[in-house]
């Protein structure tokens, strides 16, 4: 059976009865996190997940809850994010176009595709990559997308020497938010490097998983190295202490981007 909605907003999307109990679809999207209290739905605040739920539910005419590949914090951006949802009808047509017509302009869907019903957006991800952007100076056009440092000079070479230590460890409790319900603080970091192009300084980090606030705490502590406040040996001791109070500040969320998820 084929069902075509009379709703003008979704009249180019065709829903077909599924042969199995449900079908699973992946969504590839990006978003500017400035106006959102993170990815996850929370009471009385706006989240990315809430906006996606409403758009997919409107198109499928069912009550849909999307599952994200991760949970970005308030103000954090994502240039690549994946999520999945289950529906008992096969969806055909230009789904990304219809979703984008229902979503705010700061959330953009690039692709929607059917996957095996056991494929999971969060648990099947093998790595995630983040970038943290620092602008050395003042730039009014990057205020929402970088942390601007204009009164102090950073020693990037020292910061990179310290960053290499991250690849020697797996327990990163030091850089985790204190009140969190994780079952382990272990993460396998495979990349941690600073790269500078003129005034833009970017920290690239990849791991199989990340703890809450982890990247922002690492960046804050590495900046302390670059400012000469702590040494490379101090950085090692901070990691080994497993004590968040020993690490540096949590840098502003606006400079952080989730950039890639691999499956």
List active site positions.
73
C-alpha closest to that of 134 among 260, 254, 259: 254
- What is d(CA 74, CA 28) in angstroms, rounded to the nearest whole number? 20
CA-CA-CA-CA torsion sign (154, 160, 161, 167): positive
Evaluate whether 17 touches 46 at the Cβ level (below 8 Å). Answer: no
- What is d(CA 30, CA 85) in angstroms, rounded to the nearest whole number? 17
For the chain, what percentages of helix, strand and coil (3-state, to nearest 5) are there?
Answer: 30, 30, 40
Q: For 165-204, b where at least 16 C-beta lie within 10 A, e where not — what string?
A: bbeeeeebbbbbeeeeeeeebebebeebebeeeeeebbbe
Evaluate whether 258 touches 78 at the Cβ level (below 8 Å). Answer: yes
| CB contact set of 175 (below 8 Å; sequence gap of 6+) | 211, 213, 214, 217, 218, 221, 244, 247
- Cα–chain-centroid distance for residue 158? 27
Place of tokens 């409107």: 58
């Amino acid at each position: 059976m084929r069902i075509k909605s009379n709703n003008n907003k979704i009249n180019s999307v065709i829903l077909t009865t599924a042969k199995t109990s449900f079908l699973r679809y992946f969504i590839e999207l990006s978003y500017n996190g400035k106006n959102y209290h993170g990815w996850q739905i929370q009471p009385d605040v706006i989240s990315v997940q809430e906006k996606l739920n409403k758009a997919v539910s409107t198109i499928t005419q069912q009550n849909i809850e999307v599952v994200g590949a991760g949970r970005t914090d308030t103000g954090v951006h994502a240039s690549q994010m994946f999520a999945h949802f289950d529906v008992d009808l096969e969806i055909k047509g230009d789904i990304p176009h219809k979703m984008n017509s229902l979503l705010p302009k700061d959330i953009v869907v690039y692709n929607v595709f059917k996957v095996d019903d056991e494929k999971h957006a969060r648990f099947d991800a093998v790595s995630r990559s983040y970038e943290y952007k620092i602008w050395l100076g003042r730039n009014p056009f990057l205020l929402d997308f970088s942390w601007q440092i204009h009164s102090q000079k950073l020693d990037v070479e020292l910061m990179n020497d310290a960053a290499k230590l991250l690849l020697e460890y797996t327990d990163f409790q030091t850089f985790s938010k204190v009140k969190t319900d994780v079952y382990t603080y272990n993460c396998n970091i495979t990349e941690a490097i600073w790269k500078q192009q003129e005034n833009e300084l970017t920290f690239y980090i990849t791991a199989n998983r990340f703890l809450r606030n982890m990247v922002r705490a690492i960046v804050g502590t590495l900046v302390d190295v670059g400012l000469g406040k702590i040494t490379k040996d101090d950085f090692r001791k901070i990691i080994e202490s497993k004590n968040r109070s020993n690490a540096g500040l949590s840098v502003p969320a606006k400079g952080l981007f989730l950039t890639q998820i691999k499956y």
